[in-house]
Structure 1
Amino acid sequence: MPEPTRFEKLVSELLNNLTERAAYQSARMFATGEAEFMTTTTLYGLVQCTRDQSGDECHRCLKVSAGDRPTAILGKQGALVFAYNCFTRYEIYPFYNESVGAAPPPPPSEASTPPAKEGGKRNHAVMIVLPVVSMVGTLIIFAAIFICLKRRKSITLFIRQPHVGDEENQNDGCLLFDLSTLRTATNNFSDANKLGEGGFGPVYKGVLSNGQEIAVKRLSAGSRQGLLEFKNEVLLLARLQHKNLVTLLGCCLEQEETLLVYEFQHNTSLDKFLFDPMKNRLLDWGRRYKIIKGIARGLLYLHEDSKLKIIHRDLKTHNILLDQCMNPKISDFGLAKVFDENKTRATASKIAGTYGYMAPEYAMHGHFSTKSDVFSFGVLVLEIVTGQRINDFQGSGHAENLLSYAWKHWNKGKALHLMDQSLGDQYDRQEASRCIHMGLLCVQEDQTKRPSMELVVLMLSGHSIAVSAPSVPAYFVQGNSNTGPDVGPRNRNSISFVSRNDVTISEMGPR
C-alpha cells in the first residue's frame, strides 16, 4: 500500500467518525461510510454494536476495537475486528449494500450476550483481528472460535468474499447458518434423515428452502474429539478447494449446537458400495480406476499444490464420498494436520486414525508425514482392486492380512488373481496390474521406498516411468492355517490389527 502513514491516518479518521455516528446518532447502532484515499482507491468502513448497550457502552467498545487496533494490522488493505458486543471492518472495496445499508452478520444478539450488571464482573470480550490477506489472521480467528466453543460462548463469524483471481480462497464464502434453518432442512434432525454417524457425531441429509441438498454433521454431546474436529474442518476446508475434496458450505454455533454443513453427495461413501455384495457390481473397473485417480489427485493437492501442506491422517473408504457421477471427494478433515514444509516428518502427541490404514511408523511411534498418507492410500487401492476390507479380510482360509496376501500373489506372478470376483474378466489388465504394483509400493514398511503422490499420479496417468518392484510390505505375515490372526509388523514392537470395523481411534498414546 503506497503512503502507508496517510492510509493509516485515513483509516483511523473514518472509523472514529463512524464510531460517533453509530453510538450517538443511529437507533440501530450501525454506520457505514467511505473516504477517498487516491483517485483510484476508496476506503470503505462499517461499525456496528449490539443494541442492548447504551451509547456510551457502544462508543467504548468501538473505540477499543477500532481505535486501538494492533500495529500488526496497520498498513493492511483491509481488516476485520470484532468483540462480543461490537463489530468493525474496513476494506478498499465495497463490501456492504450501500442502497439499503445492509451489513454483514452482526455481533451476537442480546439473547446470547446479556448486559453486564453494574458493579458485577463483566464478561471478557474476545477480540479477534483478521487482516483479510493474512494467513496468520485466518489461524487466529479460528483458534479463537475454538476457545469460544470450549467455553460454550456465542460468536459471530464473517469470512470475506474472495477477490477475482484469488484462486486459493474461492471457497471462502463459508457461511453461518441459523439453527432454525438447519432444523427445518433436516426435519428437526429426524432419524429418517440420518445418513450415518462418526466420531464427531451423526450426519443428516437436509434440503434448504432454495432446494439445495445439504449434509449436516452434528456434534454429539458426548463426543471427545468433536471440538478439535470442528476447528480443523472449518480452518482447513474454508481455505482449500479442489474437485476431489468435499465442499464445506458453512457452520452453525447456536445455543448448545455445533454443526457443520456440507454439499450433499448423492452416493454417500465408497465403503457403502465397495463392500456391499449387491452394490459393488455398480463399481465396474472404469469407475474404480476413476475413483483411484481422483483420490490420488486430491491427496497430491493436499501434499503439494495447496498453500497449506496437509496430512489427512485418516484416509479410508468411509471418508471417500461419491457424488452423483461417482467422482470421489476426500472428506473428514477432523484429524488432519498442517505440515511444516521445511520438515520431512512430525510426531503426534496422540495417535489418531483407523487401525489397518495407519503406517507402521505412525502406529508405533507417532511419526507422520506425507508418506503416512501414501501408506493409507496404498491400502485403499488394494481394497478397491480386491473388494476386500483391510480389517475384515477373508483370504483362502489362511490367517494372513490383505497386504501379505496381495504381495504373495504379486511375487508369484499371479497379481490379477487378486481382482474382485464381481468384475469377472471385465477390466483392463494393464491398469489393474499398475494399480496393484503401485498399491504395494505405497505400503512398504520403509517409508523412503514409498512413492510420492506426484509419482503416483504420473503412474496412474499412464506415463512410462521406471519404478522398483515392491518388496515385502508392512505387517507381513506368512499364511498358516495353524496360526492365529497375528497381523503385526515384523519386529518386537508389533501392533496387531484385529479390529472388525472402521472405528477411528482418536486418543491413543504413542508406543
Structure 2
Amino acid sequence: MIFFRNSRAFVFLSFIVCARISLVNCEWIYLTHSCFEQSNETSNQGNPISALVSKLAPGVNQNNGFFNGTSDGIYGLALCRGDVLVENCPDCVNFASQEIARMCPSSGTAFIWFDECMLRYSGSNFFGKVETTPALLKTNVMNSDDPNSVALSLMDKLVAEAKTNDKLFGANFNPLDDGTGSRYGMVQCTRDLNSTSCANCLEDLINVAKTCCISKVGWGLYSPSCTIRYENYSFLRPQPVPSPQPLPPPPMPQPGNEQEIPLQEFEGSPSMDISMHVGDHDKSGEMQYFNLNTIQTATNNFSDSNKLGEGGFGPVYKGKLIDGKEIAVKRLSIRSRQGIEEFKNEVMFIVKLQHKNLVRLLGCCLEGAEKLLVYEYMANTSLDAFLFDPTKRRDLDWAKRANIVNGIARGVLYLHEDSRLKIIHRDLKASNVLLDDEMNPKISDFGTARNFGSNQIEANTNRIVGTYGYMAPEYAMEGQFSIKSDVYSFGVLLLEIISGKKNSGLYHPIPERAQSLLPQAWRLWNEGKRVELIDQTLVDDCPVSEALRLIHIALLCVQEDPNDRPTMSLVVLMLASRSIYLPQPSAPPFSIARFTFSDQSTTTGAEAGISGSDQSSTIGAEAGRVVSTV
C-alpha cells in the first residue's frame, strides 16, 4: 500500500496519536501500523496477546533496548533504535503497546513502528527469520544533487559496522567532498537475527532503495527485521544506548554539524513524504506492495495465456488474486532501456493523482530483479481495441463516444489544472485510454509524463517520447512541450473518435490522393463536406450538429501554432455548452497529401489489456530532428 502525505499532515497525525494518551509528554514519532489475520483472542487483559505485550516494555529495560518472548503460543518482539537511551526505551515500547492494542484490537498478527521503537507479535514463530514485508517507505520527494554513490558508500559502511557488533546497529555520517555539509545514515536489525541474516536483510532494503529513492534528499525503509535511513541532517539522539559489551561506539556526527529543524519549517515544507506499506493482507484500501509469490500465483507465473499486450517497459498480464479481484500487471523487461525511468515516473505521478477518469494503480512489487506495477483491471481493454475494429466499433454508439470524449477531456483538465501537480501527459492516444465495464474512459500510462511548476509555461527536451501522429509539431520537431501539446493530442484523438479512423491511415477513394486523417479532415472542412468525416456507423445514431461541433473543436485543438489552441478548461467548457462561440480554426500541420506517421510509441498503454496494433519502441529522437514523410 502506497499513500502520500505532506509534512503538515504527518505532524498532525503524530500529534493525534500522542494526544490519545493523557498526561504523557509524548516524544515518540508515530510512523505506521499493520494489522493482519483475525484472532480468536482480543486485546483485552487476560489473553495471551495482552499478556505478552505487557512483558515487552519491562523486557527492553532489562535487555538493553531489545526483548523477544512467547506466551501461550504468541510470539512478540520490541526494539528501540540504537541511539535511544536505555532508560527511555520502555516509555516508547509502553506507548507502542497501548497504541497497537487500540489500533489492532482483534488481530493475530500486528506491527507498529515509531521512529524510535517498533513492536510486533504473531501466532507464528518468526524469531531468527528475515522478514522484509510488510514495510514502510518514507521519503522526501525532493531530488538530491549528490551522486548515488554518496548514499550507497555510507550504507555499505554501516552494514559492515552493524554485523560486527552485538546490537546489530550502525550509525555514521560522511562529509561531502566540497565541504558543504554531511550526509547521515543509520541501519539496524532486530537482535533475534544472527550477523549474516542481518546483513542479508539490510542488503535487501538497500536494493529496494536503489530503485525507489536513492536519488532523493532523504529516505527510510522500515521492515519487521531491519531498518535503514539516510538524511541530509543529523536525526540521531545525542547519546547512543550503551552496548552490553565494551565495544567502541560507532562514530557520531560532530555537534557542530547537527541540525535541528524547527516545527514551523517542517510543517511549511513544500516536500512530501511517501509511505509505502508492504504486505498482501492490508485491508485499508490504500496502495499495496505485493510480494512476488502473490503476483506469480495471480498471473499463473506470467503465463502467455494471461498476457494482455506489450507495454513500453515490458509485457502486461491479467491476474486474479485469491479474493477473486482481477488485476493487470505491468512487468518491467530487463531489455527495456527506458523502462526503469518510466517505472519510477509512473509510480511517482499516478499515486498522487486521484480522478475517476484516470486509471488507478493498486500497488507494486520490487523483489529481486522483478519490478511490477499492479493496476485495476479494465474488462473492456482500451479504446483503440473498439474504435479501430470494424465489428467492435459498432458497440460505440453516439452516447458512449460522447461520454468517452467528455471523460478524457475532464481527465486531462485535472492533470493540467486541478491536481496537486501540473502534469503534461505527453502520450495521450487511443491505446492509452482504458474502458471500464461501463465504457467509462480512464487515462493511463504516465511513464513519460512530466511535472510542470505552477507558473511554468513550456519546457524543452532532447529526448522525444510519445507517439508520432499524436505529437504536436513543436514537440516532434523541436522538443518543446507544454499543456498545449496535450491539447493537440486530444484534438487528434477526438477526430479519431468521431471518424472511427486511425490518424496514421491513408484515406481517399483515389489512391494517388490519399491523405492521413488530419489533412483529410481539413480538406473536408474547407470543401463543406464535414459530414463525410463522421463514422458511417454513427450516421443514423448521432445528432449531426453535435458531431460537427466536436469536429470543429478538434480542429481548434490541432492548429499548428500552440498559442492558437484552446486550453483544456476552455475545451471542457466548449464541450459542455453550445452557447460558447467557436472561432474559425487555422490549418493543422502536416496537411500535405501522402504525409503520415507510423504508430510507434514508448508504450502501448495496456495496464488493463490491449489488443491493438501499436508497436512498442523507444523514440529517442534528438530535438530538431525532422520527421520524415512516407
TM-score in terms of structure 2 length: 0.60
Unmatched runs of 5 consecutive residues or more in structure 1: 36-42, 66-80, 88-107, 116-123, 142-155, 160-170, 480-484, 488-495
Write the distance in 2 (CA, Å) between the matches of 1:51 and 1:26.
16
Residues 59-458 of structure 1 aligned to structure 2 (within 5 Å): 60-61=169-170, 85=188, 111=200, 113=202, 127-128=229-230, 136-138=271-273, 157-158=276-277, 173-396=286-509, 397=511, 398-458=513-573
Residue in 2 aligned with 1:491? none
Partners of 1:158 and 1:133 in 2: CA distance = 25
What displacement does 1:285 show?
A: 1.0
Which range is displaced more, 341-350 or 263-272? 341-350
Q: Give, in angstroms, the shift of residue 248 of structure 1.
A: 0.2
The one of 458, 461, 483 aligned to 2:576 = 461
Instruction: Kindly provide the CA deviation profile for residues 4-31 of structure 1, in whole angstroms up to 9, marking residues without a partner as x.
Output: 9x99x9537999x999669743234546
Instruction: Provide the rounded CA distance (Å) in 2 between the counterparts of 1:383 and 1:18.
Output: 70
Please name the residue that 2:66 is paired with: 25
Change (3 A) 1:172 1:371: farther
Deviations 1:374-399 (A, max 9, x none): 00000000011111111223333323
Q: Deviations over 1:214-241 (max 9, x none)?
A: 0000011101111111111111111110
Q: Which residue of 1 aligns with 2:27?
A: 11
**What secondary structure is seen at the aligned counterpart in 1 of 2:277?**
coil
* Amino acid corresponding to residue 231 of structure 1 in structure 2: K
Deviates more, 1:341-350 or 1:376-385: 341-350
- CA deviations on 1:361-416 (whole Å, 9 max, x unpaired) are 00011100000000000000001111111122333332322111101111222211
Q: Distance in 2 between matches of 1:448 and 1:217?
A: 37
CA contact (8 A) 1:295 1:328 kept: yes
Query: Is 1:45–2:160 an aligned residue pair?
Result: no
Cα distance 1:82–1:458, how it changes in 2: closer, same or farther (>3 A)? farther
Amino acid at match of 1:181: T
Distance 1:191 1:474, change over 3 A: same
Q: Would the aligned equivalents of 2:60 and 2:79 in 1 still touch at CA under 8 Å?
A: no
Q: Deviations over 1:411-449 (max 9, x none)?
A: 222211101122232111122011100101100000011
Q: 1:426 to 1:212 in 2, by over 3 A?
A: same
Percent identity between matched residues is 47
User: Which residue identity is paired with 1:314?
Assistant: D
Shift in Å, 1:58:
4.7
Give the 3-state SS of the residue equivalent to 1:422 in structure 2.
coil
Q: Deviations over 1:283-331 (max 9, x none)?
A: 1111111101000000000000001000000011110000000000000
How far apart are 1:509 and its partner, in Å? 1.2
Map Cα deviations across residues 109-141 of structure 1 (whole Å, 9 max, x no partner): 8655469xxxxxxxx996356989966244xx6
Q: Is this contact kept in 2: 1:352–1:504, CA < 8 A?
A: no
Answer yes or no: is the 8 Å Cα contact 2:552–2:582 preserved in 1.
Answer: no
Residues in 2 aligned to 1:11 and 1:422: alpha-carbon distance in whole angstroms: 68
Task: Output the aligned Cα RMSD.
Answer: 3.9
Q: Is contact 2:383–2:430 with CA below 8 Å preserved after alignment?
A: yes
C-alpha separation in 2, matches of 1:300 and 1:23: 56
Deviation per CA, 1:86-124: give whole Å up to 9, x if none: 69xxxxxxxxxxxxxxxxxxxx98655469xxxxxxxx9
| 8 Å CA contact 2:309, 2:315 repeated in 1 | yes
Partners of 2:470 and 2:324 in 1: CA distance: 37
Secondary structure of the residue aligned to 1:214 is: strand
**Gaps spanning 5+ residues in structure 2: where?**
1-10, 20-24, 32-56, 69-76, 81-92, 97-111, 120-127, 131-161, 174-183, 191-196, 205-213, 215-226, 233-265, 279-283, 601-612, 625-630
Partner of 1:145: none
Is the 8 Å Cα contact of residues 393 and 402 (structure 1) preserved in structure 2? yes
Residue 242 of structure 1 and its aligned partner are, at CA, apart by 0.2
Distance 2:573 2:417 in 1: 14
**1:354/1:505 contact within 8 Å kept:** no
User: Post-superposition shift, 1:270?
Assistant: 0.5
**Cα distance, 1:25–1:452 mapped onto 2, change above 3 Å:** same
CA contact (8 A) 1:14 1:33 kept: no
Paired residue for 2:95?
A: 34
Whether the 8 Å contact between 2:361 and 2:375 is mirrored in structure 1 is yes
Partner of 2:586: 471
Equivalent residue pairs, number: 418
